[in-house]
Amino acid sequence: MATTVNISPQDVASAANFLEAFLSDSNPAGDFSSGTALRDLTIGALAAVFAFVRADATQIRQMQSLKTVQEATGGDPEALRDAVVAILSNFFITPKAGAKSRGTALGHASQLTDIFIQPTHQFTRSPGLVFVVDSSQTYFIPQNDLIPIVDSTGAVLEYQFRIPLVAVATGAAHDIDPGLFSEFDRFNPFVTRVENPTKFSGGKGPETVNEILARAPTAISVRNLINTRSITATLDDNFPELRGLFVAGFGDPEMQRDRLDLGKPFLAVHVGGMVDIYLLLDLVETSFTGVVGGLFARPDGVINMFRDPSSNFANVQVGDVIRITGGLPRLPGEFLVVENQGMELVIDPRVPFTAATDELDPSGTVSYTIGRIGPTYNDVLAATGGVPLSTGVTSRQVAHVGRVTLPGGPVMDILDVAIVDPANDESSFKSPVDGFEHFPNQVNGTPSDAATAMAGLQYATVIHNPLEAQSARQWMEVVVGTDARPTRFDGRSLRVRYRTLAGYDAVYGFVADRLQRTVAAHQLPRGHNPVSLAISLSYRLSPTAPSQLDNAVIARKVVDFISAFDTSATPIDVSAIGQLVRNSFPTISAVLPFDVTYSLLAPTGERITYRSSDLVVVDPKKQTAGPLLNLASFGVTDRTVRYIANLSDVTAQQVS
Amino acid sequence: MANGRYDIYFQIVPENQFTGSKFFSWGQQRTLGVRGIQKLVNLFVKYLMTPIGSDPLDTTYGTDLPHLIGSNISIDDAKDILLLAVDKTAKAIQGFQISSDVPDDERLATATVTDFIAIPEAPGFAAQIFIDNVADQGLTFLLPTLTPRA
């Protein structure tokens, strides 16, 4: 909107006075005072024009400054926005267009069928609230992934499947509450309805003036990923969905990834050259299905597995050296064995192999010897005469019994772990609802084989590279093999549903791009260390309350509060949660005292549980279960944790 | 003593050259400057003959006297209006000059309607107004011709 220039009689009088002084100085003989004809001709005719020009010039000056632009636009919000955008565009800062809401919908099908959803298929919640599948290509759901819903007689009522959806437009209005989609394009004739069981999130409107101004100090910076200001500015500009970030670099207590351990527990140096970028992105549900005990590539790409189907590694010990003389670039090379797993050797990941010969086309082999005595290192394993064996294989593929490796990327909370094709002898553990074998209990250490169907099966998570946890390089395994039967589930398909960061891959790809990355540093975008909250609220209704409250609505209010809480400034206070509920639901007369139980998914993959009746903080004094870890040595501080909640862990109930 | 700063001199248009209500002209010669009591008379006449409200930058400037042209007001009432207009003009001129460095011969002392001549056959009127400055110089001018009579 255009701004207007207003002039008052005082402005005209002031202009006339100026002109009078100016003309009197220029022509001292002329009388330009009030009432004269000369004044009428030379001042009266021009004073208004001159007053306008002066006011316009003043306004232009105001419009050029962020400090005065608000005054110049006279309270017109649209004019103010245009003016601020115009000023900041001089510094290549443009307002963010907003972010699209995302969530997972639940589809219902009357028959078992493969599902194909085109990116153009629309799901309409209500007029104006339209979503499409969150995929750039045809989204395929194999019929094996459809969950049968059975009744008490075992008859299948319907099949359910999950669809990641994204809004077609930006704006918080698309953060829809749970409910049924009023219509959707017929992507499959057997699909009867689509609903969203949980609230969508992440929708955000165009950046407001205040948000632009708040961002301006950091936005005006070098567009390189070299310091906190520039990293914030660059990523903010390129990823509107980014809600915040924290950068840990050299000297920060959270920067532990650059630590070089020198063999002794307390002998380590920080060598620098690393930058961790903790991203605050919305959570999105995803899932991965893998074969238990199968081969998985290490997500961090480190090639440190060594195999030789023709040899026996029985005599190889930790500390031995594999000397490779052929089959790899830059040879000979010597590699330190750090683990002997029987059929394969693990070498020090800090000095990995330079290529994975099993990924070559055709696959190749290496020539090698193993020994302890240099320079030949052939005293432990070699061909006759100490010459190299020629059947070695280098690999980044690992296979661990009882485990699957999740794809690289943040894992903020695990929603469900299930064998989708359970063996017949596991029938007592099958869910009567979907026929899967679920693992509801996460434990630290090896899952117990003694877990009953009533108590629920156990699973554990292991992160092999804790200093790169919650990143694209995270190597996390989900362990379901039990202590007594490690191979109990091997060969079965394990599906893991979990929440990750929406849009993380795009940020990682951007930062790792050769054109963007800082050449002298290893920058790693990652998620915060997740802390999941569990809350059980009990409340009393006022005697005058006209009706009962919906407990699910109360729980959702609490979940939204926790998810949006900025703990970088102050920690969550248990009393604030109670106050929130009382304020939001005035008919509640009292919220009974309660504790918050929360658990940190440590960078090691272990879960550490805490309980608090006041501040919700990761404090050893509040720890109730889990290993006693030196979290600081993994870079875990208040600045690198993120508190999250989901509806399955937050409940509310009315008491009398 | 005419040592003040000059204003532009304007003069009444001869009666046979009137067009509408435009009575004044910069003259047939090149523009003239004016000082002294004649400048004061010009100042006075311009205020007196400006229809009040016609100056968009100062709507209080002027008098009701020009509104008499073409009106159906009686001669007696016209005289009252003339007296009021002259009085308002005198006060306005003195107001302009009170805080200004104005030479004595340009500073207004009094303005007096010395003669009101009814012309029933027109119908209309003529009037003589005597302008006196602080230097005790006087000048009479005649409405509607504004011809000064020394």
Contact yes or no for A35 and B47 at CB 8 A: yes
Q: Is the pTM of this model over 0.90?
A: no
* % of chain B with per-residue pLDDT over 70: 89
Q: Token pair for residue A362?
A: 């055709």
> Model confidence over A590-599: pLDDT tens digits?
999 999 999 9
Q: Identify the weakest region by mean pLDDT among A515-519, A539-543, B63-67.
A: A515-519
> Across A46-121, where does the E strand assignment appear?
100-109, 115-117
Provide Rg for chain A, Cα atoms: 33
Q: Which of A9, A33, A48 sits opposite B96 (nearest CB)?
A: A33
Contact yes or no for A29 and B5 at CB 8 A: yes
> Model confidence over A387-425: pLDDT tens digits?
999 999 999 998 899 999 999 999 999 999 999 999 999
A30 and B CB contact within 8 Å: yes
- Asked if residue A290 and residue A430 are part of one domain, the reply reads yes
Of A89, A116, A133, which marks where a domain is finished? Answer: A89
Crossing angle for the helix pair A504-512 and A228-238, nearest 10 degrees? 130
> Model confidence over A28-39: pLDDT tens digits?
999 998 889 999
Question: For residue B3, is pLDDT > 70?
Answer: no
Cα separation, A26 vs A24, in Å, equals 5
Question: For residue A132, is pLDDT > 90?
Answer: yes
Confidence at residue A647, expressed as pLDDT on a 0 to 100 scale: 85
Query: Exposed, middle or buried, A583 (CB in 10 Å: 0-12/13-18/19+)?
Result: exposed
Annotate A282-304 with b (16+ C-beta within 10 A) or e (fewer).
Answer: bbbbbebbbbbbbebbbbbebbb
Question: For residue A1, is pLDDT > 70?
Answer: no
Cα separation, A391 vs A383, in Å, equals 11
Q: Is residue A177 part of a domain?
A: yes
Crossing angle for the helix pair A45-63 and A77-89, nearest 10 degrees? 70
| Residue A152 · residue A199 · CB < 8 Å | no
> Model confidence over A331-365: pLDDT tens digits?
889 999 999 988 899 999 888 999 999 988 888 99
B11 → chain A, closest CA residue? A37
- The pLDDT of A505-510, averaged and rounded, is 94
Question: A75 to chain B nearest CA, in Å?
Answer: 28
Handedness of CA A474, A480, A483, A488 (dihedral sign): negative
Contact yes or no for B10 and A31 at CB 8 A: no
Q: Token pair for residue B101?
A: 């460095």
| Residue A364 · residue A355 · CB < 8 Å | no
DSSP-assigned letters across all residues of A108-143:
EESS---EEE-TT-EEEEETTEEEEES-SS-EEE-G
Q: Which of B7, B57, B92 sits opposite A36 (nearest CB)?
A: B7
- Asked if residue A636 and residue A537 are part of one domain, the reply reads yes
Confidence at residue A181, expressed as pLDDT on a 0 to 100 scale: 95
A176 and B CB contact within 8 Å: no
Type of residue at A615: L
Type of residue at B93: I
Of A395, A415, A446, which marks where a domain is finished? Answer: A395
- Asked if residue A339 and residue A371 are part of one domain, the reply reads yes
Domain residues for the domain of B84 are 7-145
Confidence at residue A156, expressed as pLDDT on a 0 to 100 scale: 85
> Model confidence over A561-601: pLDDT tens digits?
998 888 877 899 999 999 999 999 999 999 999 999 999 99
Chain A residues with beta carbon closer than 8 angstroms to that of B10? 37
Per-residue pLDDT band at A276 (split at 50, 70, 90): very high
A189 and B CB contact within 8 Å: no
Per-residue pLDDT band at B70 (split at 50, 70, 90): confident
Confidence at residue B1, expressed as pLDDT on a 0 to 100 scale: 44
Query: How many CB atoms neighbour CB A489 within 10 A?
Result: 29
| Residue A615 · residue A638 · CB < 8 Å | no
Q: Which residues pair with A130 in a beta bridge?
A: A124
Question: For residue A383, is pLDDT > 90?
Answer: yes
Q: Is residue A209 part of a domain?
A: no
Per-residue pLDDT band at A265 (split at 50, 70, 90): low
- The pLDDT of A433-442, averaged and rounded, is 91
- The pLDDT of A130-158, averaged and rounded, is 86
Q: Is residue A1 part of a domain?
A: no
Question: For residue A133, is pLDDT > 60?
Answer: yes
Q: Is residue B1 part of a domain?
A: no
Question: A27 to chain B nearest CA, in Å?
Answer: 10
Question: For residue B32, is pLDDT > 50?
Answer: yes
Size of interface A-B (CB pairs under 8 A): 44
Per-residue pLDDT band at A2 (split at 50, 70, 90): low
Annotate A169-202 with b (16+ C-beta within 10 A) or e (fewer).
Answer: bbbeebbbebeebeebeebbeebeebebebbbbb
Per-residue pLDDT band at B20 (split at 50, 70, 90): low
Confidence at residue A64, expressed as pLDDT on a 0 to 100 scale: 84
Per-residue pLDDT band at A207 (split at 50, 70, 90): confident
Cα separation, A516 vs A222, in Å, equals 12
Q: Identify the weakest region by mean pLDDT among A60-69, A295-304, B81-90.
A: A60-69
| Residue A376 · residue A262 · CB < 8 Å | no
Confidence at residue A448, expressed as pLDDT on a 0 to 100 scale: 96
Contact yes or no for A35 and B92 at CB 8 A: yes
Q: How many domains does chain B have?
A: 1
- Asked if residue A347 and residue A358 are part of one domain, the reply reads yes
Q: Which of A12, A34, A44 sits opposite B96 (nearest CB)?
A: A34
Question: For residue B45, is pLDDT > 50?
Answer: yes
Q: Is residue B2 part of a domain?
A: no
Cα separation, A546 vs A248, in Å, equals 52
Confidence at residue B150, expressed as pLDDT on a 0 to 100 scale: 45
Handedness of CA B10, B12, B18, B23 (dihedral sign): positive
Per-residue pLDDT band at A98 (split at 50, 70, 90): confident
Q: Which of B8, B55, B92 sits opposite A38 (nearest CB)?
A: B8
Q: Is residue B41 part of a domain?
A: yes
- Asked if residue A408 and residue A290 are part of one domain, the reply reads yes
Cα separation, A614 vs A620, in Å, equals 15
Cα separation, A620 vs A608, in Å, equals 10
Confidence at residue A223, expressed as pLDDT on a 0 to 100 scale: 75
Confidence at residue A283, expressed as pLDDT on a 0 to 100 scale: 87
What value of ipTM does the predicted structure carry? 0.86
Strands A650-654 and A607-612: unpaired
Category of A452 on φ-ψ map: left (φ > 0), alpha (ψ -120 to 50) or beta? beta
Q: Which of A12, A29, A33 sits opposite B57 (nearest CB)?
A: A12
Domain residues for the domain of A250 are 221-282+506-527
**Nearest one of A276, A244, A246, A215 to A564, comparing CA atoms:** A244
Q: Is residue A241 part of a domain?
A: yes
Q: Is residue A2 part of a domain?
A: no
- Asked if residue A635 and residue A538 are part of one domain, the reply reads yes
End-to-end Cα distance, chain A: 58
- Asked if residue A605 and residue A564 are part of one domain, the reply reads yes
Using CA atoms, how far residue A386 sits from A307, A312, A317, A321, in Å, is: 19, 16, 18, 15
Provide Rg for chain B, Cα atoms: 15
| Residue A401 · residue A490 · CB < 8 Å | yes
Query: How many CB atoms neighbour CB A321 within 10 A?
Result: 17
Question: B46 to chain A nearest CA, in Å?
Answer: 8
* % of chain A with per-residue pLDDT over 90: 64
Cα separation, B114 vs A467, in Å, equals 108
Q: Is residue A151 part of a domain?
A: yes
Q: How many domains does chain A have?
A: 6
Q: Which of B56, B57, B96 sits opposite A35 (nearest CB)?
A: B96
- Asked if residue A322 and residue A388 are part of one domain, the reply reads yes
Write the CATH number for B15: 3.10.450.40
Query: How many CB atoms neighbour CB B147 within 10 A?
Result: 12
> Model confidence over B91-137: pLDDT tens digits?
999 998 988 889 999 999 999 999 998 887 777 888 999 999 999 99
Cα separation, A295 vs A293, in Å, equals 7
A13 → chain B, closest CA residue? B57
B88 and A CB contact within 8 Å: no
Round the average pLDDT of chain A to a whole number and report it: 90
Question: A33 to chain B nearest CA, in Å?
Answer: 8
